[in-house]
Homo-oligomer: A and B are copies of this chain.
Amino acid sequence: MRAPIAVPTPKDPGGGYTHEQHKRNASLIYDAGQMYRLTGDADYADYAGKLMLAYADVYPSWGLHPAKKEQSPGRMFWQNLNESMWLLNVSQSYAAIKDTLTPDQRAKIEADVLRNMADFLSDGSPETFNKVHNHGTWATAAVGLTGYAIGDENYVEQALLGLDKSGEAGFLKQMDKLFSPDGYYNEGPYYQRFALMPFVVFAQAVQQNEPEREIFEKRDGILKKAIYATIQQNYGGLFFPINDAIKDKGIATRELLHGVAIAYDLTGDTGLLSVAEAQGKYVLTPESRALSEDIAAGKMTDFDYRTMRLGDGETGTEGALDIIRASTDPDDLVLVVKNTSQGLGHGHFDKLGFMVFDAGREILRDYGAARFLNIESKYGGHYLVENNAFAKQTIAHNALVVDETSHFGGDVELGNQNAPVLGTFTDTGDLKITSAEIDTAYPDVLMDRTMAMITDAAFPRAIVVDLIEAHSDNPHQYDLPFYYNGQLTETNFKITADTTVRQPLGQDNGYQYLWRVGTASAIEGLSQITWLLDRTFYSVTSSVPQNSNVIFAEIGANDPDFNLRREPAFILRTNSLNGVSIASVIEPHGEYNPTVEYTLNSHSNVKSVQHFETGGDDYILIETKDGQRVGLGVSGDMTENAAHSVSVDGAVMRWTGPYKLFHSDRHQSEGN
């Protein structure tokens, strides 16, 4: 609290001195208010009050910011989003310390800072305030919190119901629109974390000031769902890197520190204490302090990490994020299938793409955003040119690419209009499975993908099964990339490596950023590739058309500024006149133990993968090297009680309903 007070006249855009100084002041005011609340030490209140008064001296005189953005300009900052954030912090602090101020001081701060800014952000900026958009949430939350802080119900009403209090805009409308019914935010968890902050902070104030509004119960408890959905979307503490996500953001961010603390206050769910412990730090609120006390008191239980479908879109019908976990252990095998909608401007063209995580690490991965956040020497910390040109493109993903072009031709608007059509999502314990299809990503191609996690005694661990199909009447080239993480140890074919010259794999749509490092031909329609990461081996065994090739690639071509991470991939490539089907098994296996010098099961246990089709029904037959057979039936018609059958090697496999797992003999004989 000894920092000298500096309230500079607005001048710099984001990142510049005056911008950063006003952000710092907001943090100082907020922290001082909270510390006063927690300790009762008058020095804190005194400091916060002085800073607020310093702003009261100058704020009314500030017109629009000299470096103002065209849309939604601010006065203290170049955009009013930052002004909303400032007021959100300061109004909370004012509520905490106002009793320590004289009537004159209160009058001055309320008139010249709080009301002046709240008026600017509400009536003065209707296009932001009334917008059903994340920036609107920051504005309404800031104005609503100001209302509670100074006791002006009018601000609260406007915040909740829109400027005209009709309910057509405002915070409640935003609660209805910005999350799906499952609490998913359509830009993905990296952005969800940020969007969540004003929701939980203002909702908590509503709950404390007007509990009769039952704000946390609205829309079937949507805000709690949103907090839980954000937590569910992490692995190893980091968010699933969907869309333009910076990979090292996760549950330890400030927004989630508040979110988890508030959720625990509301629910008493002791599983949240595990999340708090994994976060490893606290914020200056009574709710956060309660977390640390209850952890110390030994109340912690495991968080309920679950297999779940998070529907996307306002009504939950614009695709879904499908999360499949082998167990509740957060470090166990996880499959994430991106059957969501595009996710607006930060969305990636990765329809039906997927990621696999295991043993605390990424196994089959997504590049995330091409950006070095806050690192000035890397294009000022902004999104790099490689973000649009590579990271967003389909070839940068574990997703099917047709004719070396991206989904929707790389057109965001087209992407936003077309979500995948979902198939059934089922969890029977041994079989966890999802499917989806989309016929708009390419003009004349219908793609569908079914991905399952299967537990069977034929395999020591759960495996992932992937059936991806493209249906088309026209000739196309199909590329199916797998961005594997680790060191290649074995393939069932000979690789012709590009040992003395490397060249880019293509010219456009992200292909120009990949070096081709080797090529191979699948052997009799089978491709089997094994790699090692840390102490576990992973194999992908794929049934592919006879003429298929395998391309080995590495990120980093056409990268003059060394902006991209060097990460390897293999790509299954098929040219076909009439579509393609590829069935794969993704299998974690074995153990490499360098300390005691042994290696177990370094080879895949899969002997073959075969795909059979009868009518619209599919059957994938997996045969292990020790003669076990595991089958998976996938129905073309997913109605609940329809009967299905597929001819498999002379036999007919029959089942009812969308999916059927046919266990191995070993599994059955072991009484499972």
Residue A248 lies at the interface, judged by CB distance under 8 Å to chain B: yes
In the assembled complex, how far is the CB of residue A277 from the closest CB belonging to chain B, in whole angstroms?
16
Which chain A residues (552-598) contact chain B, with CB distance < 8 Å?
A: 552, 554, 556-562, 565-566, 568, 592, 594-598
Residues from chain B with a CB closer than 8 A to the CB of A554 are 566
Is the beta-carbon distance between B499 and A559 smaller than 8 angstroms? Answer: yes
Which of B248, B487, B500, B558 interacts with A504 by CB under 8 Å?
B500
Residues from chain B with a CB closer than 8 A to the CB of A603 are 376-377
Q: For A602, give the chain B residue with the smallest CB separation.
A: B375
In the assembled complex, how far is the CB of residue A279 from the closest CB belonging to chain B, in whole angstroms?
10
Q: State whether A499 and B557 are in contact (beta carbons under 8 Å apart), knowing that A249-B595, A488-B562 are contacts in the complex.
A: yes
Residue A378 lies at the interface, judged by CB distance under 8 Å to chain B: yes
Residues from chain B with a CB closer than 8 A to the CB of A495 are 560-562
| Copy count, this protein chain | 2
A-B residue pairs in contact (CB < 8 Å), sample of 13: A246-B594, A372-B532, A374-B594, A374-B599, A375-B602, A376-B603, A495-B560, A497-B559, A497-B561, A501-B501, A502-B515, A518-B562, A552-B562
Residues from chain B with a CB closer than 8 A to the CB of A381 are 599
In the assembled complex, the Cα of A559 lies from the Cα of B559 at a distance in Å of 22
Which chain A residues (228-250) contact chain B, with CB distance < 8 Å?
A: 246, 248-250
Which of B373, B502, B532, B592 interacts with A597 by CB under 8 Å?
B373
Residue A477 lies at the interface, judged by CB distance under 8 Å to chain B: no
Is the beta-carbon distance between B503 and A503 smaller than 8 angstroms? Answer: no
Number of A residues whose C-beta is below 8 Å from B? 53
Which of B500, B561, B595, B596 interacts with A503 by CB under 8 Å?
B500
Per-position binary interface string of chain A over residues 596-613, scored 1 when its CB falls under 8 Å from any chain B CB and 0 otherwise: 111100110000000000
Is the beta-carbon distance between A378 and B596 smaller than 8 angstroms? Answer: no
Residue A490 lies at the interface, judged by CB distance under 8 Å to chain B: yes
Residues from chain B with a CB closer than 8 A to the CB of A596 are 253-254
Residue A530 lies at the interface, judged by CB distance under 8 Å to chain B: yes
Residue A252 lies at the interface, judged by CB distance under 8 Å to chain B: yes
Main secondary structure, interface of A, reads: loop
In the assembled complex, how far is the CB of residue A82 from the closest CB belonging to chain B, in whole angstroms?
13
Residue A417 lies at the interface, judged by CB distance under 8 Å to chain B: no
Residue A639 lies at the interface, judged by CB distance under 8 Å to chain B: no
Residue A100 lies at the interface, judged by CB distance under 8 Å to chain B: no
Residues from chain B with a CB closer than 8 A to the CB of A376 are 599, 602-603
Residue A489 lies at the interface, judged by CB distance under 8 Å to chain B: yes
Q: For A248, give the chain B residue with the smallest CB separation.
A: B594
Is the beta-carbon distance between A530 and B377 smaller than 8 angstroms? Answer: yes
Is the beta-carbon distance between B499 and A501 smaller than 8 angstroms? Answer: no
Which of B489, B515, B598 interacts with A377 by CB under 8 Å?
B489
In the assembled complex, how far is the CB of residue A120 from the closest CB belonging to chain B, in whole angstroms?
25
Residues from chain B with a CB closer than 8 A to the CB of A499 are 557-560
Is the beta-carbon distance between A562 and B487 smaller than 8 angstroms? Answer: yes
Per-position binary interface string of chain A over residues 170-193, scored 1 when its CB falls under 8 Å from any chain B CB and 0 otherwise: 000000000000000000000000
In the assembled complex, how far is the CB of residue A58 from the closest CB belonging to chain B, in whole angstroms?
26
Residues from chain B with a CB closer than 8 A to the CB of A518 are 560, 562
Q: Taking each of A252, A500, A532, which has the highest tally of chain B beta carbons within 10 Å of its own beta carbon?
A: A500
Q: For A515, give the chain B residue with the smallest CB separation.
A: B502
Which chain A residues (474-505) contact chain B, with CB distance < 8 Å?
A: 487-490, 495, 497, 499-504
Residues from chain B with a CB closer than 8 A to the CB of A374 are 592, 594, 597-599
Q: State whether A595 and B252 are in contact (beta carbons under 8 Å apart), knowing that A375-B489, A377-B490, A489-B378 are contacts in the complex.
A: yes
Residues from chain B with a CB closer than 8 A to the CB of A561 are 495, 497
Is the beta-carbon distance between A375 and B595 smaller than 8 angstroms? Answer: no
Residues from chain B with a CB closer than 8 A to the CB of A254 are 595-596
Residues from chain B with a CB closer than 8 A to the CB of A597 are 373-374
Q: For A246, give the chain B residue with the smallest CB separation.
A: B594
Per-position binary interface string of chain A over residues 149-164, scored 1 when its CB falls under 8 Å from any chain B CB and 0 otherwise: 0000000000000000
Which chain A residues (520-576) contact chain B, with CB distance < 8 Å?
A: 530, 532, 552, 554, 556-562, 565-566, 568
